[in-house]
A = this chain, B = another copy of it.
């Protein structure tokens, strides 16, 4: 297999995935979880791929997390039997909840009595009901001090014929805002304190309450994850520039890269114009150290894969299909019209979602869930 040749037939922006790097990333997280006897229930919203999901099986993973009922259906159809939908339940999709519950062990999030009432009315198969707790992110979930509301929800769920009470779930998304200085151990301890405290508070009546936490920055950086029953990080399978900036990974761990044709060169300002824009990368950005936005960083092909180039060669702006890659002079000299530039994405989940499939280094195509048309046409 000639790897360089395998890129040569690429014509359009293409998302490359390095299977070896992915497997290394999965293995590292799986070993840490196993050492501390914590269940790893990876979030599959990052890759959204049945083919890539298979790689997790080799590390003993059989429970997964997804972010929509439609994504749960995609993975259930591929044989995954234990699925958490880590998103507040959308009661407009009770048909799909029933379909999923009829064929898989399904965990869903309840944080409003209206949701539990809808489940009581319409549920035909068993599900496990979890309560989302806001441990400081401020996005959604009940606040830890809303003990009466939590008691009311637990009580209501207990009355429902098909709901088994699961436990408390949190996503400490504030680890993203905290930057590389964020004290991940403290976030983890605070999550345990809050969720564990609630589980103990209700333990007389509900002795089996589980606690589930999970975000990639926290569980990539801390060594000991004891104290929670399961973790649900997702991005770690690929990582990306944002995670590297947060200290979750090294740039060499980033397992996806975009291959973008060079369509114009502007020597006077050291800019290469790439076929690769906001509809390929997404408009997520980080700050570049020199000021301004950073939508991606140049990588270089080393014959077997890619490695990051200088951080002085970065995507400084994106329009719909154009990317403007500002280059260090030595990088600019290597780019010609019609060449492929390899770019490490800022946010791999969003880029993968836009690209809709992957290409391995030996040229195989890996599928990706397609969301919108399936469900929009189902109605």
List the interface of chain A (C-beta within 8 A of B): 9-14, 45, 67-68, 70, 87-93, 95-96, 111-112, 114-115, 118, 139-140, 173, 261, 263-266, 273, 275, 278-280, 282-284, 317, 319-322, 324, 336-338, 349-350, 353-357, 359, 365, 370-373, 375-379
A283 / chain B contacts, CB cutoff of 8 Å: 282-284, 350
Docked Cα-Cα span, A273 to B88, in Å, equals: 9
Among B45, B87, B266, B359, point to the contact of A376 (Cβ < 8 A): B359
Docked Cα-Cα span, A370 to B263, in Å, equals: 22
A115 / chain B contacts, CB cutoff of 8 Å: 337
Q: Which residue of B lies closest to A273 (CB)?
A: B140
Chain B nearest CB: distance from A100 CB in Å?
14
A95 / chain B contacts, CB cutoff of 8 Å: 11
B324 near A139 with CB under 8 A, answer yes
Q: Which residue of B lies closest to A234 (CB)?
A: B320
Docked Cα-Cα span, A244 to B63, in Å, equals: 46
A13 / chain B contacts, CB cutoff of 8 Å: 372
A14 / chain B contacts, CB cutoff of 8 Å: 376, 379
A349 / chain B contacts, CB cutoff of 8 Å: 320
Docked Cα-Cα span, A46 to B279, in Å, equals: 12
9 new A-B contacts at CB < 8 Å, known A282-B283, A356-B370, A357-B376: A9-B379, A67-B320, A68-B321, A88-B264, A88-B275, A92-B261, A139-B324, A140-B324, A355-B372
A87 near B357 with CB under 8 A, answer no
Chain B nearest CB: distance from A366 CB in Å?
11
Q: Which residue of B lies closest to A263 (CB)?
A: B88
Among B92, B282, B322, B356, point to the contact of A282 (Cβ < 8 A): B282
A263 near B90 with CB under 8 A, answer yes
Known: A264-B88, A264-B112. A12 touches B338 (CB 8 A): no
B89 near A263 with CB under 8 A, answer yes
Docked Cα-Cα span, A41 to B316, in Å, equals: 30
Known: A12-B93, A321-B68, A322-B87. A112 touches B265 (CB 8 A): yes
Chain B nearest CB: distance from A318 CB in Å?
10
Chain B nearest CB: distance from A320 CB in Å?
6
Known: A284-B278, A377-B357. A11 touches B93 (CB 8 A): yes
Known: A91-B337, A278-B282. A379 touches B139 (CB 8 A): no
A90 near B377 with CB under 8 A, answer no
A376 / chain B contacts, CB cutoff of 8 Å: 12, 14, 355-357, 359, 365
Q: Quick one: which of A320, A353, A378 has the most chain B CB within 10 A?
A: A320
Docked Cα-Cα span, A88 to B118, in Å, equals: 53
Docked Cα-Cα span, A219 to B365, in Å, equals: 43
B67 near A378 with CB under 8 A, answer no
Among B114, B337, B373, point to the contact of A357 (Cβ < 8 A): B373
